[in-house]
Amino acid sequence: MSDRLLDPAPPDPASLYRKTDHWFRRAATALLGEVPCRVGCTNCCIGPFPITLLDVHILQQGLAALTPDHRRRIERRAIEHTVAMEAAFPQLTHTDLLDNWSDREVDRVVTEFHHHPCPALEADGRCGLYDHRPLACRSMGIPTEDRGLAQGACEVQTFIPILRLPSAFREEEDRLAQEEATFLDAHRRATGSTGEEVFLPYGFLRRESRETCEKSGTGETS
């Protein structure tokens, strides 16, 4: 893991995460309960995807609040994932930042490891860091739209609600994206980071936890 995770933290983006939660709840209500997201549905919790360094900051806050054993379990799963990813894609051993990757390269990793569950996914189907989950997790489930065409947000969402999401919600979604960009810019200026995104498993790793587990081996259990 790169040194950037030890750099001074940028302004706390917690308000953005609360606003995104609020947007999702209201958007789901506006679609009259046709959003299929329920406790125990883990379809969107399987497979890696890019997250921002803001998400890394939030995940690390959540990990710090867990009991040591719980934190180590999640970190161990993350290490197992990243070791496998780096064996298949050695460029990740040089830097975990994805900003110089092409969409095609990112898609190759996503496809190769599509069966790997999120390190925070627990055996009962719940998220072990739910209150500190990334922005993508908080907004997932609302049908997406592109040039007036709507499509399901995941494989579970096999039909599109007849009722379209009011334009005011899409405008609010755009404002949230702009606010995220502002926080990311503040993060770059505060930390000197040269990038914005990493694959999800890297967000769970502190530099010291990764080095310790790599020395002891990933196959150990507590």
Could you read off the pLDDT of 76-125 as tens digits, one per residue?
Answer: 999 999 999 999 999 999 999 999 999 999 999 999 999 999 999 999 99
Share of the chain above pLDDT 70, in %: 80
Q: Which carries the bigger pLDDT value, residue 202 or residue 141?
A: 202
Alpha carbon dihedral 176, 181, 186, 187, in 10-degree steps, equals 100
Q: Which of 169, 120, 119 lies closest to 144, judged by CA?
A: 169
Could you read off the pLDDT of 38-68 as tens digits, one per residue?
Answer: 777 888 899 999 999 999 999 999 999 999 9
Alpha carbon dihedral 50, 129, 113, 141, in 10-degree steps, equals -70
Average pLDDT score over the chain: 85
Sign of the torsion angle spanned by Cα atoms 79, 84, 89, 90: positive
- Whole-prediction pTM: 0.83
**Residue 6 in tokens:** 């030890």
**Helix or strand run (H / E) with residue 57:** helix 53-64
Q: How far apart are CA 175 and CA 101, in angstroms?
A: 26
Query: Domain extents for the chain?
Result: 3-215
